Structure 1
Amino acid sequence: MGKVAFVVLCSLAAAMALPAKVGRIMGGDVAAPGQFPFSASMQFDGYHYCSATILDEYTVITVANCVLTSFPTTMRVITGMNRITTGGEVHEVKTVVAHGRFAASLQYDIALLKLATPITFNELAQPVKLPTATTGSNEDVTLTGWGSTEYPGNIVDDLRYIDLKTMDYQKCNNRQSFQVFFNQICTLTKSGEGLCQGDAGAPLVAKDGSLVGIASWGTMCAVGDPDVYTSIYHFLDWIEENRV
């Protein structure tokens, strides 16, 4: 049987004609409280389905495949916690801005959520830094998320993280069933480490703590093929134009 390619989609977007969804961080460790204060959980009817990253007190960033632009009021964003069932600050979503070209190509898999109430910044909730340069190959990066740790499996309660290495997008393209573009980042360490269900939109940060990517798609689940992220650096102008 051939490999099954999947997009790191939330269940709400699963009907789109795209590769199948993914979710959890496999092979990672449990994060300490406040270790990654920029991480946020996107929830629907009280259940985590995607991750987001805090940009400022009213804005979080995620991938377009996680959002329903017609129904922002059905979503909630939880900030300032490590466990999705304990604590945190709940925010209703006022506006969703998905990239206008996402429907045509996964290379535009990015969206901003404007919150109805401001995020309270403290040791558990802080905005992330944005990158100032492109991300090359063989760079050290860290992925965080609440996705499941086995396939099939359930979303985990504790925030988890894993240290990964980036790889050249052209080499990544040669190993994937779907096209990989210059404005995407790939990671690959070894089989058993990477994305799975629930990690869509999860932040990928560089050693300096800047947000270099957000989880878009991969081959389920951590089977030894590269995972693919939207490169934040290539969308800095779009972010600034749409975060106001």
Structure 2
Amino acid sequence: MGPAVHAFLLSLLLGISVCGRPTYTSRIVGGQDAVKGHWPWQVSLRMGQTHICGGSLITEQWILTAAHCLTTTWTIFTYTVWLGSIYADYSSEGLQYYVSKVIIHPNFHETTADIALLKLYSPVPFTSVTLPICLPTIKEHLTIPASCWVTGWGETKKMKGTDFYSTLQAAEVPVINHKACDRLYNPVGIYLPGSEPVIKEDMICAGNTNSMKDSCKGDSGGPLSCLIDNVWIQIGLVSWGIGCGQTLPGVYTSVIYYQKWINATISRAEVLHPKNLNLSDFLLPTVLLSLPLLGPSWT
């Protein structure tokens, strides 16, 4: 047992926050297989046993994902969350949890407010392979690094005849200036001062089109994780894009922008339902809106 594992266990015993502090910290090349335990907050959102989207563990009982991943055509107990494994397929290393509550942002429409929270039916025990990622704090101004990491099981250029990659992939992607990204998506906007921007204030752009490092279909809802002051913080979640790793960067819902909503929603839900929900709650879906799975996210 190495010193990092000892420090992790001590943090748990002392009640010190362990979010964003994985036990394993070896760096990996973007676009390659992830290392077990390096991204312990990464989850696979499933419909039955089929991977549909990514997500992130943000507390012992809450998952953050994209709103467009969810649909009202299925009842709540159809959704499951898979975590603790770098494999999308069944593995004895992973843990499966049922979803008891789905909360979609009330302003969600197409790519706007593309964010949702899932409450798990039972809490997740924190281990070296299942840890939450830290979220930005409202009171502190974050200095976003030049590049962050996107992780997921989504499609890659190397794939042929399969929907998703079986092993978790990780890619380091540059974070792109908001105005610069809007100019890429809306090149004529500079000549039309009154036109609506394509990249709204609740969005973040990231991706390296030169090296084809980008998120893609199947990565939706997964985290854009940044190492800030030696702590991993989620600043965005995969939302939409045009193509994958081609001429335009990927677009992410800004977790920074929605931090107040996340905090308020979780606090309100815990007050209303301080204990686990019963079976009758399971049979009453709380999904508010829907789009076809993955909707128009990648074209």
Q: CA deviation at 1:138?
A: 6.7
SS at match of 2:51: strand
Higher RCO (C-alpha under 8 Å, 6+ residues apart): 1
Q: Where does structure 1 differ by over 3 angstroms across 4 or more consecutive aligned residues?
A: 132-138
Q: CA deviation at 1:107?
A: 2.7
SS at match of 2:248: coil
Question: Match of 2:173?
Answer: 164
Counterpart-to-counterpart distance in 2, 1:141 and 1:57:
24
SS at match of 2:38: coil
RMSD: 1.9
Q: CA deviation at 1:224?
A: 2.3
Question: Match of 2:282?
Answer: none
Q: 1:149 aligns with which of 153, 156, 160?
A: 156
Alignment of 1:1-244 (within 5 A): 28-69=31-72, 71-85=75-89, 86-87=91-92, 88-103=94-109, 106-132=111-137, 139-150=146-157, 153-176=162-185, 179-191=198-210, 192-208=212-228, 209-243=232-266, 244=270
Q: CA deviation at 1:190?
A: 2.3
Is the Cα contact below 8 Å between 2:244 and 2:250 reproduced in 1? no
Residues 112-121 or 171-180, more deviating: 171-180
- CA deviations 1:80-115 (Å, max 9, x no partner) are 111122131111110100000002x52301000001
Residues 34-43 or 147-156, more deviating: 147-156
Is the Cα contact below 8 Å between 1:176 and 1:226 reproduced in 2? no
Q: Compared with structure 1, are the counterparts of its residues 199 and 134 closer, same or farther at alpha carbon in structure 2 (3 Å cutoff)? A: farther
Residues 135-144 or 189-198, more deviating: 135-144
Count how many residue pairs are aligned between Structure 1 and Structure 2.
217
The answer for unaligned runs of 5 or more in structure 2 is: 1-29, 187-196, 271-299
Q: Compared with structure 1, are the counterparts of its residues 220 and 175 closer, same or farther at alpha carbon in structure 2 (3 Å cutoff)? A: same
Residues 144-153 or 93-102, more deviating: 144-153
Is the Cα contact below 8 Å between 2:209 and 2:249 reproduced in 1? no
Q: CA deviation at 1:221?
A: 1.8
Larger Cα-atom Rg: 2
- CA deviations 1:27-60 (Å, max 9, x no partner) are 6011111000000000112111100100111100
Higher strand share: 1
* Identical aligned residues as a percent: 28
Q: CA deviation at 1:62?
A: 0.3
**TM-score, length basis structure 1:** 0.83
The answer for unaligned runs of 5 or more in structure 1 is: 1-26
SS at match of 1:107: coil
Is the Cα contact below 8 Å between 2:153 and 2:168 reproduced in 1? yes
